[in-house]
Each structure stands twice: as structure tokens, then as C-alpha cells.
Chains A and B, each alone.
Chain A
Amino acid sequence: MNRIKVTVDGNEAAAYVAHKVNEVIAIYPITPSSPMGEFSDQWSSDGQPNIWGSVPHVMEMQSEGGAVAAMHGALQGGSLATTFTSSQGLLLMIPNMYKIAGELTPCAIHVAARSVAAQGLSIFGDHQDVMAVRQTGWALLASNNVQEVMDTALIAQAATLASRVPFVHFFDGFRTSHEVGKVEQLTLDDMRALLPDEFVRQHRARSLSPDRPVLRGTAQNPDVYFQARETVNPYYLAVPAILQKTMDRFAQVVGRQYKLFDYAGAPDADRVVILMGSGCDIAEETVNALLAQGEKVGVLKVRLFRPFSVEHFLAALPATARNISVLDRTKEPGSLGEPLYQEILTALAESLAAGKIAAMPRVVGGRYGLSSKEFTPAMVKAVFDDLAQPVPHNHFTVGINDDVTHNSLEVDPKFSTEDPKTVRALFYGLGADGTVGANKNSIKIIGEDTENYAQGYFVYDSKKSGSITTSHLRFGPKPIRSSYLITRANFVACHQFSFLERVDVLKHADNGAVFLLNSQFGKDEIWDQLPRPVQQQIISKKLQFYVIDGYSVAKDTGMGQRINTIMQTCFFAISGVLPRDEAIDAIKKAIKKTYGKRGDAIVHQNFAAVDSTLEHLHRVQVPAQVSSTVELRPPVPAEAPAFVQDVLAPMIFGDGDDLPVSKMPNDGTYPTGTAQWEKRNIALEVPNWDEKLCIQCGKCVLVCPHAVIRAKVYSSDHLGSAPESFKSAEPKWKNFASYKYTLQVAPEDCTGCALCVEACPAKSKSEAKHKAINMVPQPEIREREARNWDFFLTLPEIPREQLVLSQVKDVQLLQPLFEFSGACSGCGETPYLKLLSQLFGDRTVIANATGCSSIYGGNLPTTPWAFNKDGRGVAWSNSLFEDNAEFGLGLRLSIDKNRDYARELLVRLASKLPEELVKAILGASQKGEAAIAAQRSRVAQLKQTLASIDLPEARALIDVSDLLVDKAVWIVGGDGWAYDIGFGGLDHVMASGRNVNVLVLDTEVYSNTGGQMSKSTPRGAVAKFAAAGKARPKKDLALIAMSYPAYVARVAMGSSDMQTLKAFNEAEAFDGPSLILAYSHCIAHGYNLIHGLDQQKLAVQCGHWPLFRYNPNAAPGLANFVLDSRAPSIPLEQYIYNESRYTMLRQSNPEQAKLLLGEAQQDVTDRWKRYETLAQEFSAAAATEAATAAAAKGVH
């Protein structure tokens, strides 16, 4: 049969089969498996049927626990059902997995295997998650590359239906789930051939139906549970044979033969490595290279890990194998060895005892590749080399330098098995410049338009703004199984000139490689602009050097800042992968395919860019001598602290892989205040202050998402040492009249979002476009303003007690303890966190749900959370996604407990302490900054006194005395957490009555995992899993929260900064649970975030986001519920149709958009009426209360 070749990634390969062979798909987004759910949802919403001609139902659930439960129900209902997940998501499924297996319910789920959060979260790949379910009774079946993913997805489905044992089909997260490769696509007939109708009928016959009622899910007692648990044994014993039979059938139909254990290598191998997943192909590539050198080695690829078949294992393992190294891509602290190692050992030991093998081979185990740590042929060779030693390492690690337990293998980085016929291309791009998208296109072109095989893998850094992407592309005449990063590239492209001073982009260029640089400097000027190491490598490696000014071509052809098509054209023109004309045609065809749906204008712009690229592409004549004196910039300044220099700087520079174990904090604890050292210089333009126009309102400081605009008032005495260009103005505060005021920008930390300029209300009277703050090109003022910034930081902070913290104007003078985050440029969430840090940061503990805020807040190398000159600042932790509210409550309980204990100790020790001090500490109100400062000073005095008291209780009190100063607990997360996965916990915490503050950064969508619908997504908005527009209204979490009761506020800083400020202060002051829902604009809304504040205003004006505050403890006579925004004054559409999330639907399905707009407008009207009624009722109640009080007063 003639099957088509497609160029897809592992996720798409799995989803393709899963969608065709299931009826119900319950999903929940989690990286790196999310795309499988997204593909399924997209295909179903496009009406694509399964092999039985019916479109599967796809349902997004509130958590993975929900997804597996819905799947369990669907299976029990007689449908074929599946789900996709990873990491902690799979762990959340465990309770139900026992049930599904215990009930012998056939299904195959697909797992992009990922690390689990331990000392830190990691989204990357290893087998920790799947190994955590090996005890549940599910079969564990691995696939090793994109082709195998597609094949195994079908085999797993067939085998589960035949055996009734549920299957986890897993493949390596990112390395396989996100690797793009050319594969042969299974046909629907292939699937039908593997899935006889009889299987489906049997499954349906077992379903729950009132027409043939049964009881399933009994509670069993000690008398029979044990026996009942043993009933499943025959099914497990049968699985290996059934699976092998299925694989054989697959081979008959499709032609590719798989075995439970596939062996490759010398038939008489002495040394064998055993492993699972993508590492198998790398090991095979290495084995082939070593065989060619005459070595007797082999690799045993384990496909079916559970149920483990000793019989099949022995049949596959050469009898000559005397030395075996078992490689696990997981970690089980405290175990005798990792799971695969233990399984193999048990299998061999039992076989020896049973006489099935003559002698026990020497078996060692090791760990590799955790969290997508590179696993290369050099590492495989190191394992084989070690195995040849008289005493090989056991329980070793390979791929890292473990200088603590000294059990890692030495690796020779020069060893390579790259096929010389393979083109290896490496591209450095900016996240936003389209490099990755263009490379994905190139792979498709080569994969689909030529006989060549193609492979693409993409690496992103940890920032959401200004992030560097690296694309690794291989092309060649043979299937490409080299699942590791390219380190010997014969083509290197650097799409951003500025990377040359930040990254060693030529490190992986092979001798004689082509080097393509995008630069504003032409072929004659470029050489003198290159840093010395770049020049040196160009000369020493004899690189062919090409340069193009991609940005000029982009500008001239209407492409704006997008250089993707231009650089892609250059690649094809120089690399020679295709004849030039053919390549141009293929690029244009791909453009038409990719962009055609988006309109002719886009297609023509891209065509124009292709056409004018080649005339701007020039080869550079490389001089014989290095002439530059410019070095790569150090990743952090010399004055950075030692930990930053030693540990964080290598990570920033891209050398984190070289850090040894000893450098790592052993419990995941890192210092704060580190983002300040990572000068990223990513803004093309930064704001510049016009002190003459400025009215010192502080709005720019408030809205800056990255805390790069700051204000101080200070004595003019300090100006003596100021740089000449340092600006100041007379302060517009009466009480600081004798001081100076300065608004300063950090030019190297700014992301150039320009929200500050939008927020600035002060305009020139003679030139309306000129404001008190204006964007100017960064390079021109970088050095000058960097000096000014450094000086500004040396100016003293104004004492907090001198400020009125209910005024925006005064808040600008508070030091932010959240700065320079890697959030998206113009982020709508971070201004709220910065405000929180300014108001309460020096006494706050934050529990942060997993999501955007945990990533820009806590993704290594650096953190924006910072501390003040006294060393006080936010203590921050991320537990999980689903448990954040409870985690935060636990922090509160602990703080309260130890505060109470401190007070108890204080009373017990009262006789030994100054009476006045004890009385003052115990009686302190701690309301307001002055009171807090006073209490801190009392506690300091207390500690001093306690130091001289030699009693255990005194020492105990010293330990907990800091808690005598009030601490705030803030529970922070996004809407995915608060409305969906964390809602159960949030509910409990809100009902607890405990003094916690919950801040929901509401972007109305799962932003971090790529824009999936949450229950906060408004009706009519397009999101993933709501491709046809969300049909149901946004959940009113605020109204729900009011019923606990709790303090509740809905805020939008862009609409009313005053109201936001009030809400934060009131929430913190409220002695009980409080909830703030903060409108956060987001790139997932699809518009230029420079207009974020305007959109916030419109959201309020149209009634979509009514502002209010509900304070159950409002002062007597004041209403508990206050509506802070006016009745809707504009139609909803005036707000929503500025955002692509809504306009997409209007474009794709105008009728549906119109319908949903009508309903959404009604939602807004109804909600406003509800709120208005509430406001009136509370206002009337307050008036009655006041009147009663007045009357009572009159009586008295």
C-alpha cells in the first residue's frame, strides 16, 4: 500500500491515531502533552471523523484528575476513550488508574513523558512520571521516535482492546513529542485492520446500561478483597503474547516489525546497554559506529516495560552478553536502583535460579537524561567504555558532573557519530522573529518536496520576552534517528546581531561550515563590528561567511520586524539543499499554504520578501587576521555576588550544563534579588523622562510591568556626586518641598513595551505627541542612562512611614521588590505583583500557583523577587498548580502558630524582660507603616535582651520572635488555577476564615500553556478547546467568593489605579480571607499590548469587568458592597472587537460570532443588574444602620 509521508512532531503523530480510534477524548493542558489535546479538539471542531465515521467528543476538564475520571466514565459507558498528559498531570490520574485497571477497562492513553516537580519544576522530558504509575496495573509501552509514536499509538489501542489491560503509551517529552520528522502516515485501513469490530463490540457489551444492569465498584471486605485482587493475573500474563501478536499483525499490514524487546548490535555482543525511549536510537547509532570499529556491543530496546516479560527479554538478549548496563531516565532516591535496572536484575536472577540462563551477567545501572539533559553518542560510548573496565561504575550518572558522590562517567565530547551525508543546520533566533516557524516550514519543504528525510528540534530559553531560540535541523537521504542536539553544524545562522556579544554562536560550527548573519552592517563593514572570538572562529574554522540586512528587506517589503521568510530564503540559497529556483518555488508554495488563510496581503508581502532577499545576500571576504578587540559581554557584572557569578552566570551564558552537582543548592533554595544582574538589553526603544513636563503622578511607575521606571525624592545634598546627565525636578509634594524628585529608567532592563508612555497623562502644550515620558532609541542613551540608573540606586529610599500608601502618587516612591521579570513585554499581570511587593513586600510570604507567574517569578536562572536594604523582601514558593490555596493556608497556619508561640513565650518570660517592652509588643496594633516600624524596633530590642538570658525558652523565643511583627500571606495564581484546577482548594481556604489574601491574575485563559480555555474565558472568545468561540459565560468567581464571606474586589489597574490600590490595602487589612480578581491583559488576547491600559478601560466601560469592593467588615454606616465603576456606557463589541480572540471568530464564523456577541452582551447586562441591585441593597442597609445608630445615639 502506498502511504503518504508527512512531516509532523511526536505529539501530532500520537494524536492523529488517538483521534481516529477513539470516541471520547477528555483532556487537560499540561506541557509537553498539550498539543495532543489541541490537535484533537481542532480536528473535532473541523468535523474530522474517526475510523467509524463519527466525530469524537473532545472535552476539556478542570484538571487531569477530572480528565481521567471523565475518561473512566466514558469507558464504563461503553465508549472508546483516551486522554493525553505528562508529569504531575499523570500523577493526578493515579487514583483513577488503579480503578480503571482493576476493572480491566481497555484504553490507551498517550504520555509525553516529563520530569516531575521535586526540588524544582521542570517541563522537560524524562521517565519520572511514567515510572510513578508502574504500580497501577497499567501496561507501560514506550516508543522511541516520531514514526514509532504513530505506530505504537495504534498498537497500544489494539493490544488494550485485545487484552483488557489498559496501556500507557509513552514517549520522551520534547525530544520526541516536539521533534519534527518525516514519517509514513498510517492509513485508516491500517487502523481498521488492527482494530477488529469484535473488540469494540466486546467493550461495549461490558458497559453500564440500565437495560442490562450490573453493579461495578463494590466495597469489599477482608474476606474476599485479596482473592478478588488476584483474579486479574491471567490477563497480565497474557499481555506480552497479545502485544507481540498485535505487533506481528501490524508488521503484516504496515511492514514495520516491532518486538517487546528489540535488540540491535553484534549477535555475539559482550557488552549490552538496555534502555527505553528516544535514547535507544542514539544508543543504536553509537553501537553501529562501535561495531564498525570491531567492538562487540549491542543495545536492547525495551518497549513493553510492564507487564515485564522475562521470556521475551531472554529471547532478545544475546546469550553472550556478560556485561550489561541498564540506563534509567528517572531517579528514585533511596532505592537500590532505578526501576528498569531492578526489573532486569530480577529477571536475570530469577532466570538464573530457574536454570534458564547459565550464568549471571555483570549488571550495572545508571541514570541519564533527566529533564531533557542531553544524551549523546559520546555518553553511550562512555557507558560502553566503563562497562569494559574491570570494575565498572554502578549506580552511576552520565551527562553531568557529579562531584559530590563522584559517580558520574567521564565523557569524551569529541566522539561523534554524525553521518557525513547529513546536512546539519543550527539557527539562533529571537522568540519573536519567526525563526522557529520558518524552520518548521523548511523541514516541511524538504520533507515533502524532496526525497530527503528531515528532522527539526527547537530549544527555547526560559524568558517570555526577548527569548533566544535555537533550531536544530538535520536533512539527509536516510531516516534520521539522531535525537540529540547538533554540535557539529555545517550551517550556522544567527538571526540577531546582538546575540554575538551574548552567546558563543559559532561554538558548534564545524570546520568549513557556512555562517549566515543578519546584520544592519553590510559586507564591507561587518568584519569590523564582530567581537574578537567571532572573528577568530570564522578564520580558524575557515567558515564561509554571508551577511544580509534582513530587517531592511523586511521593512521595504511590508514585513515589519519579521525576518523569518527572508532568513529562510537565505538558508535555501546558500545551503544548496535544493536547487535555488526549486527552493524559491517551494518556499512560495509553503507561504501560500501557511499564510493563505490569513489573506492575500500577507502572502504577497512574503512573496515580495522572498524575491528581494537574494539581491541583499552577500558573501563576506574574510580577512586573514583577527582585528577586533571586543570580547563577549560577561553574563553578569563583576560586582554581582559570588553565587550569581559562580552558579547563575553560567546558566545565563548557556553553560549551565557544565555546572557540577556541588554548585547546586541541594534543596531547591535560591537567593532572591538576582534578576538585577541579568542585563538583557532587549529593548530597541526605552522611555526617556522630560522633567519639565512631568506632573509626578506616578502612573508610569505604577503600570511598568518590569519595574524599570522608578521615582525617588531625596535631599539635594546627594546630587553632588551625580553624573552630569542625571535629571531632577522640584518635588510636587508639600512635605518634601525642600527635596528633589527624579524619575529614572533602567535602560538595560526595559523591554520597551511603552505602557508607561500610554499611561502618561502629561502632554506638551505645543506638541501633543510629546509627553512627560517618551520612547527613544535605546542604544543612543544606553550607557548614559545606565550610569544614571546606577547612581539613582544609591539614593536613599524615603522612609515608608512618611508616605500615604493610599495614594498612587506616594506609592511610586516605594521600592519595588519585584523587578525585571522575564514576563512578556507589556505583561498585564506583573504590575499587580509589583504593587503588592511595594505595599507589603517586606513582610510577605507568597504561595504561587504554577503558571505564568511561577515561570517569570521562579524560572532559573534569576528571579525578579527582591529584597530591600534591610534584607527584607518577599519569601516565595511554588508548590504545585492544583494545591496553591491550601499551600498558602498552610503557610498562614504556620505563621500564626509560631506567632502565638512567640507570644506565649513572651508571657512566660515576662518577669525577665522589661515590663513596658513586653506590654508594648503584645499590645501593638501594627496598623500602618509607622506602627510596623515601631514593632520591628521593639522586637530588635527584645532579641538583644533575650541574648543575655540563658534559658531554653529565651533561645526558643529568639527563633520565632520575628513573627511578632505581622506577616502577610498572599496566594497568587492565574485563572486556570483559581477557576479550574485549584478551585476546590480555593473554596476551602476562602471558607476557612483565615487571614490569607488571594490574588488572581485573571487573563481569562491558560496563558502559560498556550491559550487554552478556562472557566474564566468569556463567552464568544476563541481559545484552544473553544475554537468555535466559548459558548458558556465566564464564571463569576467574585460573586461566589462573597458568600463565604470574604473580602472580595474586582480591579483593573488600567481603568482605576486608585481603586486597585484601595482594594490591595483593604484586602491586606481585612482580618480574614480576601480575594482580588485582577484584570490582566495578555498576549493571548491578540492585540498590541501597548493598548493594554485602554483595553482595560473599555472592559470596565462596557460592563464586562465591573469594578467593585465587598468588605464584610465595612465601617459602620458604610456599605459593604461598593460598585466602583459606572453603568455600562459602551456596547460590548466596542471592547471585544479590538482583540483577535474575538475577531477571529467574527472572521471565521460570523453567524456564531453574532449569536455569541448577543448572548455575551446579555451576560454583561444581567451581571450589571445583579451588581447594581446588590449595591443598592447594601447601600440601603448601611443607611438604615446609620439611621438606627443615629437614633440610638439620640435616645441616649
Chain B
Amino acid sequence: MIDLSTQYLGLKLRNPLVVAASPLSKEISNLRHMEDSGAAAVVLHSLFEEQINIESNELDRFLYDGAEVSAESITVFPELQNYNIGPDAYLEHIRRAKQSVSIPVIASLNGVSRGGWVSYAREMQQAGADAIELNVYFIAADPVSSSVEIEKLYLDLVKEVRNTVSIPVAVKVGSQFSAFANMAQRLDAAGANGIVLFNRFYQPDFDLETLEVKPALTLSTSGELLLRLNWAAILYGQIHADMAITGGVHTANDVVKSMMAGAKVTQLASALLQNGIGYLRPLRNQLEAWLEKNEYQSIEQMQGSMSQKNVPNPKAFQRANYMKVLSSYALG
């Protein structure tokens, strides 16, 4: 019997297939479908503090904009009893998710203010989340802010949330740090129970017809996995926090590679958006088949097996590999 189970954030999971934060988790019926299809845990879509603020401002503005302008139309909208502005709907979603599925439910939080991060994390725990994933999506566009200052922001944030809640806290980051190994260690030291590699930053596209900048969403491909494998392999054994790989996990082979690099779980979103939630089932089966075919007993057995410290040529993960790739390209 092949053991696909793994431990992530102290949670015992039946396999390493975790559904990443995506719009799919907004529907309770989808969560049930995920569980039925074999997902080991689900990260809910993110609660965006900024979105809450925007909605709050827009609602206020448009209730207000047409009001008190003319004697005939002193208001233009009925005053509703409740607008569910704020985290209430999200917290209710956590509660309903917990009632609906038995797999762990990880809440995802994207804050903008320190107060927001802390208070929403507390409320997520109260609502029953099994863990919290801090989705730090920060574009360092301000030339005044140095990398030191920005890294401190990350660390302070993790510390504060860590000190606020008792459930596990993972932090999902981008790859664009000057010294990521050092950063990962410091996140680890700040109390992160897990590090999720990596956030995919969405860059806007240009519409050449209208000369307008338009939002663009491109789904990941397996090609993006390599960056994650690289860093997981480097960090494995150097930090205590569990690693999750997300961004580019599409096939059973991708999962196997992630495990071998040292991740505890993989998180999938694009693969499910493309193929449907039911794709988890064949994926799990293929994973099991791969282990069986290659005579692995368990996932645990392979975790970190191809990490930098466990491979015969550790330089492959560093600059030497870069030169090798270049020269192979030139020769090709």
C-alpha cells in the first residue's frame, strides 16, 4: 500500500494535492467537489482588505453621490439593512466551508494595513480556519523604499500575525528577493510555519487597438515549475518551515518533482481552472501509479530526495548550472 500522506503546517494530509487560492473556492459546492475528487486541503480564495475598502468606498460614494442634490430626489437608492461590507461574508464562507468538508480549510489573507492583517487573521481563526496563508502581494514600485525596508515589512507582518493567532501561518511570497535564501530563513525565524513558493504576479497587458492597459490573467504552465523546484531544493533542510510549491504544478510528474525538491505539498489552481476540479482524481491516481511503478513506498520517502543537499551535484542549483545551460544552448 503506497502512502501518499504528508504533513503540512502540522496538518496531516492524505496526499500532497492542495487546492491553491483561486475563485474556484468561492462556491461551497466546489469545495465538496474538491474533497470528493481527492484534494487533501483547500486554500480559500483570498480576502483582500483593499477590496473591502474599495467596496466600502464605492458603496458610500454612490449612495451619496446622487443624494441631497435636488428637492425631488433627495436619495436615489433605498437604504438596505446590511451591505455585508467587511470580512463578514468571507468569515461566513469559512464557517460554511468547515461545515461542508472535512479536509483542512486554509484561509488566505491579503491585507494592506497592519491593523487589517492582524484583525482579519484573528477573525479567520475564530471562524474556524485550520491555518492561514498570508498572501503577500507587494509590488515594490516606490523607488524610495529600499529592499531592507520592504523585507522588514514582510517580517513584521509575519511576526504580528504569528503573535495574534494560534493556528499555523504560512506565507506566500514572490521570488523576487535579492537574497531569497536569507529571506526565507528570516521568515522562518519570524515564525512562519510554512512558505509557499511562489506567488505569481499578474502583469497587465497592452491593448494595441485602444492603447489602453488592460488586466491580463495568464494561467501557469509546467515551465514555471522550475523556478520553484530550484528554490525548494536550495532551501530544503535550511529552514524549519514547511514548503509548498505553487505555480506550474499541472501533472503528476510536477508533483513528484516538487516532493523530491523538498516541498511538503503542491498547490494547484491553473490546472483545475483549465481541466476542472475533477482533474484532481486522475492526478492523484497518476501520482500513486508513478510511485508504484518506481517502487516508492511513500511520499515522505521522496521528500527532499533531490534537494541541493541530497543530490550528487549541488552546484546544479547554482551559477554553474546557468553557465551549463548557456553553453548547451550555444552548442545546440
Contact = CB atoms under 8 A, between A and B. Distances in A.
Interface of A: 31-32, 35, 38, 41-42, 45-46, 123-124, 174, 178, 431-432, 434-437, 458-460, 463-464, 467, 469, 560, 562, 595, 597-602, 763, 768, 824, 855, 1007-1011, 1022-1025, 1027, 1083-1084, 1086-1087, 1140-1141, 1143-1144, 1147-1148, 1150
Given A434-B68, A467-B69, A562-B64, A597 B83 contact: yes
Q: Which of B52, B79, B80, B211 has the most CB of A within 10 A?
A: B80
B219 interface: no
A1043 B278 CA distance: 50
Contacts of A1009: 72-73
16 contacts: A35-B74, A174-B71, A434-B64, A436-B68, A436-B74, A458-B68, A597-B83, A598-B59, A768-B212, A1008-B73, A1027-B78, A1084-B77, A1087-B62, A1143-B59, A1144-B80, A1147-B85
B211 A1140 contact: no
Contact of A1011 (B57, B77, B80, B86): B77
Interface string B63-92: 111111111111111111111111001000
Interface of B: 52-53, 55-86, 89, 211-212
B87 to A, nearest CB: 10
A123 B72 CA distance: 8
Contact of B62 (A123, A436, A1086): A1086
B58 to A, nearest CB: 7
A1143 B60 CA distance: 12
Contacts of B72: 31, 123, 855, 1008-1010
Contacts of B211: 763, 768
A1032 B146 CA distance: 56
B82 A1148 contact: yes
Given A38-B78, A601-B52, A1140-B58, A1147 B84 contact: yes
Contacts of B64: 434, 437, 562
Nearest to A1083: B66
Nearest to B77: A1011
Given A436-B68, A599-B59, A1011 B84 contact: no
Contact of B76 (A31, A41, A560, A1010): A1010
A923 to B, nearest CB: 50
Contacts of A432: 65, 69
Nearest to A435: B68
A804 B72 CA distance: 41
Contacts of A1147: 55, 59, 83-85
A42 B75 CA distance: 13
B71 A123 contact: yes
A562 B57 CA distance: 12
A599 B56 contact: yes
A995 B69 CA distance: 38
A1084 B66 contact: yes
A1008 B66 CA distance: 11
Given A597-B85, A1011-B66, A460 B71 contact: yes
Contact of B68 (A437, A601, A1148): A437
A1193 to B, nearest CB: 44
A347 B74 CA distance: 42
Contacts of A45: 78
A1083 B66 CA distance: 6
A601 B57 contact: yes
A631 B56 CA distance: 43
Given A437-B64, A467-B69, A1007-B73, A600 B81 contact: no
Contact of A1010 (B73, B83, B84, B86): B73
Contacts of B59: 598-599, 1140, 1143-1144, 1147
A590 to B, nearest CB: 15
A1150 B80 contact: no
Contact of B67 (A38, A174, A437, A1007): A437
Given A437-B64, A467-B70, A599 B52 contact: yes
Nearest to B72: A31
B209 to A, nearest CB: 10
A806 B57 CA distance: 43
Contacts of A1087: 62
Contact of B81 (A46, A763, A1024): A46
Nearest 10 Cβ contacts at the A-B interface: A599-B56, A1010-B73, A599-B85, A431-B69, A1086-B62, A1011-B76, A1083-B66, A436-B68, A1140-B62, A601-B53
Contacts of B66: 824, 1011, 1083-1084, 1086
A467 B65 CA distance: 13
B81 A1148 contact: yes
Contacts of A459: 71
A1148 B56 contact: no
Nearest to B57: A601
Contacts of A1011: 66, 73, 75-78
A1148 B73 contact: no
Contacts of A434: 64, 68
Given A598-B59, A599-B59, 19 more contacts: A42-B79, A123-B71, A435-B68, A460-B69, A467-B69, A562-B64, A597-B83, A599-B52, A599-B55, A763-B211, A1010-B73, A1010-B74, A1010-B76, A1023-B77, A1024-B78, A1084-B77, A1086-B63, A1144-B59, A1148-B81
A436 B211 CA distance: 42
Q: Which of A768, A855, A1025, A1140 has the most CB of B within 10 A?
A: A1140
Nearest to B83: A1147
B113 to A, nearest CB: 10
A447 B44 CA distance: 47
A1008 B62 CA distance: 17
A855 B79 CA distance: 25
Contacts of B76: 1007, 1010-1011, 1083-1084, 1086
A1022 B52 contact: no
Contacts of A178: 71, 74
A1140 B77 contact: yes
B73 A1150 contact: no
Given A600-B56, A1083-B65, A41 B71 contact: no
A1058 to B, nearest CB: 18
Contacts of B212: 768
Contacts of B74: 35, 178, 436, 1010
Contact of B77 (A174, A467, A1141): A1141
B73 A431 contact: no
Q: Which of B67, B72, B79 has the most CB of A within 10 A?
A: B72
